[in-house]
Amino acid sequence: MTTQTAAEADECPVVGTLEDVLAALGDPVRLEMVRRMWGAGGPKPCGQLYAGVSKSTASHHFKVLREAGIVRTARINGKVHQELRKAELEAAFGPVLESVVRAANR
C-alpha cells in the first residue's frame, strides 16, 4: 500500500465476505458498537460507541469491524471517528445489516 492519509488508508474498497461480516457481528461488544453507529447517521467518536471494555480492547474491535468492511475510520477535528459503511454493505448484502440492527434493538 502506498502512502495515503489516515482516512484514505482506512477506506477499504471492498466489503468482506458475508461470513466475515456475520462473524464480526457475532460478538457482543462489536454488535453494540454497530448498533450505536446505526442510529448516528454519520461518523461518531470512538469513545461514544462502547462501554465496559478497555480502550485497547475497543481499538481491537474497531479493527475487526474495519477489516470486515463494516466501518470506515475518519479523523474529525483531531478525533478519531467511526462510521458504518451502510451503502456498501447494502449493495453487497441487501438488508442484512438493517435486519440485524433491528433485531439488536428489540
Residues forming the site for DNA (CB under 7 A): 6, 23, 27, 29, 45-47, 53-64, 73, 75, 77-81
Interaction between residue 39 and its own copies (CB under 8 A): no
Give the nearer residue to its own copies in terms of CB position, either 13 or 26: 26
Interaction between residue 25 and its own copies (CB under 8 A): yes
Give the nearer residue to its own copies in terms of CB position, either 65 or 74: 65
Whole-number Å distance between alpha carbons of 30 and 92:
20
Instruction: Report yes or no: 27 and 20 within 8 Å, Cβ to Cβ.
Output: no
Task: Find which of its own copies, DNA, none residue 102 binds, CB within 5 to 8 Å per kind.
Answer: its own copies
Whole-number Å distance between alpha carbons of 53 and 56:
8
Residue 73 CB contacts under 8 Å (≥ 6 apart), including other chains: 6, 7, 10, 62, 66, 80, 81, 82, 83
Task: Find which of its own copies, DNA, none residue 19 binds, CB within 5 to 8 Å per kind.
Answer: its own copies
